[in-house]
Each structure stands twice: as C-alpha cells, then as structure tokens.
A and B are shown apart, each in its own frame.
Chain A
Amino acid sequence: MATTVLFFIFAGIAIACAVSTVYQRNPLYSAISLVGVFLSLSGIYVTLAAPFIAAVQVLIYAGAIMVLVVFVIMLLNFDDEPGRNRLKYLYVMGIGLGVLLLGQTFYIYSAVMRVPNVAIEQTKTAGKTLSIGQGMYTEYLLPVEIVGIMLLMAIIGAVILVRRLNQPQLELVVENELEDERLEEGMLN
C-alpha cells in the first residue's frame, strides 16, 4: 500500500521533471530538471528493494555526470536567442520511437503479468549489495571486464586529448599533419 503510494508520487515527479527537461528554454533549467528525474528514479529503486542501485544512481548520475553537464552550461553562457526549428524532421522520428517504446512497455507488462506471482527466495536479496557483487564477479564476469577495459580506454583517450606536448613533439605532429595534407592535395591534383 505505502509502496504503491510512494511509487505514484515518485513516478509523477519523474514524469513532470522529464517533461520539464524537454520543454525548458534555459538549458540550465533542463539540467536541473534532469537531476530531479534521476533523484525520483532512485526513490523508485528504493521502493523496489534495490538500495544499492538507488545509491549508485544518485552518486554517479546526479552527483557526478550532471554536475559536469551543469559546469559546461555555466561556462558556455548561452544567449537567450529564440530557438530556430532546424530539427523539424526529427519530430517524425520522435513519434515513431515513442510508439515503439510504448509497445515495448506493454510487451514487458504482459510478459510480467504472465509470470506466476510467487515470491522466489532469490528475489528477496536480488537488490542487495552482496548478491550484486557475487553476480558481477561470477556469472557476469566477462561483461564487467569488457566494460572495465572500455572505461580504461576512455580515460586514456581523455588524457591523450588534453595532454600538453613539448615543442619538438608538437612540431613533429604538425609536420606530419602538413605532410598528410600535401599528400591529399597531390592525390586530388
């Protein structure tokens, strides 16, 4: 009973914030609304007995990723010019994807309804930290390793992109690029 009420409260806030994210003119308001979506989602996770996922949702999405987004918005200093509608053709795609998502939701709903409503022993601990950890390092070890390598690649890529080269290295890079351009021009001619 209490869970249902909480679900509707959090779901309502999440939907309201999501609509606000899309419709706000000011990008910073959009970002704040998105933070609201993440916070209410984590509330829903708590009512679904998944406290670990809820805490991680707040820690990673609201606490780290969105802070960086807010940072970028604050530094870019957008003008208040009226938005030009250059992306009109995307409306059609948006409607198509929306219908697809709705269909998917109904499919999942019917699939869940077909499953017999019996509490399995496993589901009681499914959201707990221990079972998530055990699952990650036994059954799903390969995906975890792949994600780890991908994140490592992203970190190394970020470091290389912002690294300051000293003068001889920089000249070498510039010369190589000039050489490439000359080659391309030669090919074109």
Chain B
Amino acid sequence: MESVLKTAFPFIVVAVGIGAAFGGVMMIVAYTVLAERKVLGWIQGRIGPNRAGPWGLFQPFADLLKFIFKEDLTPDKSTKVVYFLAPLVALTCALMPMVVYPFGPAITTVDWSFLPWGLGEGYHVLPLTIGQIDVGVLFVLGITSVGVYGIALAGWSSNSKYSLMGGLRSSAQMISYELAMGASVIGVVMLAGTLDLNGIIFAQIRSPFKWFIIPQVIGFFVFLISAFAETNRVPFDLPEAETELVAGFHTEYSALKFALFFMAEYVNMFTVSVMCTVLFLGGWYIPGLGHIFEPGSIPYAVASMVGFVAKICAFLFLYIWVRGTLPRFRFDQLMNFGWKFLLPVALGNVLLTIIVVFFLNR
C-alpha cells in the first residue's frame, strides 16, 4: 500500500495542481463575464445584473444553469461529428496552456517531512507551476494556434452561410495576427535568452529594468493589439459583427455547446493576459517584496500570486474598457492593419533588439 502510494504521489500532486488551477481559472473567467456586464453597464449609464444574489454575484452560476437546461439544437443538414467536436476543440485548446503558467515563485522554506508514510521525503521545493517545460512560450503559442480549428470547423459544419463566413473571417484574422504576436515575443525571448516562462520572469528580475515593458515597449504594444485580435474582441470582433453575420461562427450553436465557445473566448482572454503579464510585466514578481517577506516562504509566494492575479485583472479590465469605448474595424482595414503595419513594426522591433543585444553582449 505504502509503496503504491509513494509511486502515485507525484501524479496525485500534479492532479491536485491541475484541479486547483482549473478551478481558479474557471472562477476568474466566470467573474470576468460578470465584471464585463457590470462595467459595460456603468460605462453606458446602466446598473448591470443585480438580481441573482447580493450585487449580482451569483449571476455566472445562474447563467451556467440556464445554459445547461436550454434545448440543445443541432441543424438538420450539419455535419454531426464535426459539429459536436468543434466546441470541445475550442475549449480544450483554450485550457491547455494553463499547464505552463507560472502562478507564483517556488516555495522552498517548508519542510515536507510532516506528511504521513514519508511521502514528503526528497521534496524540498514546491513549484507553483504544474509543468516546467523548456519551451513554455512556444507551447502556449502552438496550442492557441490549434484553437483556430474549433472556430473554422464550427463555421464549416453548421452548414449555414453566416457561420461559414464568420468562421472564415475569424480564422483568417487569427492566422494573420498570430504572426505579429509571435514576432513581438521574439524581442523578449532574445533579452531573456530562454523560452521557459519562469526563466523569463527570472531574467526580468536580473535585468536592470525589472520589467521588460521598458526595453520592449514596441513589442508590448504590438503584443497587446494582436492579443485583442487573437481573442476576437472589440475592436477586432468582426467574426461576430451582428449587423452582418448575426453571431458569426457560433450562430447555429445553442445551450451548452454555445456556452463552451463562450467560455473558450474568456479563457483565451485570460491566457493572453497571463502571457502579457509574464512576458512584459514581470509575471508574479513585485519589486521590493523581497525586503518585506523572505523569498521562498509561504507569505512571499501568496503575496506574489496576489500580485500576479492583480496584473491579469488589470488586463482583463482593459479588455472590457476597450469594448465599452471603441467602434469596430472594417474587415479590409483589419487585414491591412495586421499585415502592412503591425507585422513590419514587430519585425523592426526584432531587428532593433538584435542590434542592441549584439552591442550589449560584446
């Protein structure tokens, strides 16, 4: 029994980690939806949802219940298998990058020998990351690029003109802006000298600027703009331009299947906010926190995690704020902007960074 438990222990730890991260991310996503409706309400001089629970706090759960109990319609002429598969692909690809997020600094000062049956033997460090991958940045970019299939296949399998046009627009947009996004990340990777997300945070701590947003300000803005486009948000929400395409690729989806797409969109928002925080705002690192708490201790880790979530929430607020203020691009403007402005600027930033890094390292 003991030996079995000892063998299974690392897997149990990882499973618990995934469960905790999944729960945390889903809660943040649920309350992002509520925050969006509230803040949009305030921007437009309304109150927003305030019926379910105090201050409307139970609204996300009420919405979810409603999604579950709604009738699940499938168009008669749709391609059934693909129609069923598309929302699953979209949400899975949105959630998978969670594995490499650096949620906080490793806890090193706790002695794990108090665990029963000597389970904690040989463990000194509790990293607040589920999987430490050598190529974390590429992993996130790769998985999110696979997420395009969810949208493209949803548009195609619905067998509806609105869906097909919405799906095509949306996937064309995502492919185009992925290039600018990848090019804007290269500058950070060159300064950090690693593709590992935790390694990038440590590189920022070591650098004189502390946050890479200062030396990489062009890269930051390119990344931010392409992040808006990648997640199909205002001002780049053409796939869902109601007056032209009803609801774009998910026009024919209802009930829980629609909810999966909806969740995937907000999880993607969360993902790009995490990436923006980690790459440009130092991730969980708060300058000067090491003087208050001892690095590696539990209070230090908790305070860092709070800082991390606060930075992410700032980005999520920016999303909502922009949605409440800016009008929508036209599709040709969007394509011209992505290919003829954003991509050259990102490549110019790469060139500039190469020159600076070359002369600094001489």
Contact = CB atoms under 8 A, between A and B. Distances in A.
A62 B146 contact: yes
A63 interface: yes
Contacts, number: 70
B135 A64 contact: no
B164 interface: yes
Interface string A54-77: 111011001110011011001100
B138 A64 contact: no
B138 A56 contact: yes
A55 B175 contact: no
Interface range for A: 20 to 34
Contacts of A17: none
A117 to B, nearest CB: 25
A52 B138 contact: yes
Contact of A58 (B134, B143, B171, B175): B143
Given A52-B138, A55-B135, A74-B168, A35 B149 contact: yes
A48 to B, nearest CB: 13
Interface range for B: 20 to 34
A75 B156 CA distance: 9
Nearest to B137: A55
Given A51-B133, A55-B135, A74-B168, A28 B142 contact: no
Interface in B112-164: 133-135, 138-139, 141-143, 145-146, 148-149, 152-153, 155-156, 164
Interface in A102-138: 128-129
Contacts of B203: none
Contacts of A54: 135
Given A71-B171, A128-B134, A129-B135, A59 B149 contact: no
B195 interface: yes
B309 to A, nearest CB: 27
Interface of B: 82, 133-135, 138-139, 141-143, 145-146, 148-149, 152-153, 155-156, 164, 167-168, 171-172, 175, 178, 194-195
30 contacts: A32-B149, A32-B153, A35-B146, A39-B146, A51-B135, A52-B135, A54-B135, A55-B138, A56-B138, A58-B142, A58-B143, A59-B142, A59-B145, A62-B142, A62-B145, A62-B146, A63-B141, A63-B145, A64-B175, A67-B145, A67-B149, A70-B153, A71-B172, A74-B152, A74-B156, A74-B168, A75-B168, A129-B134, A129-B135, A129-B195
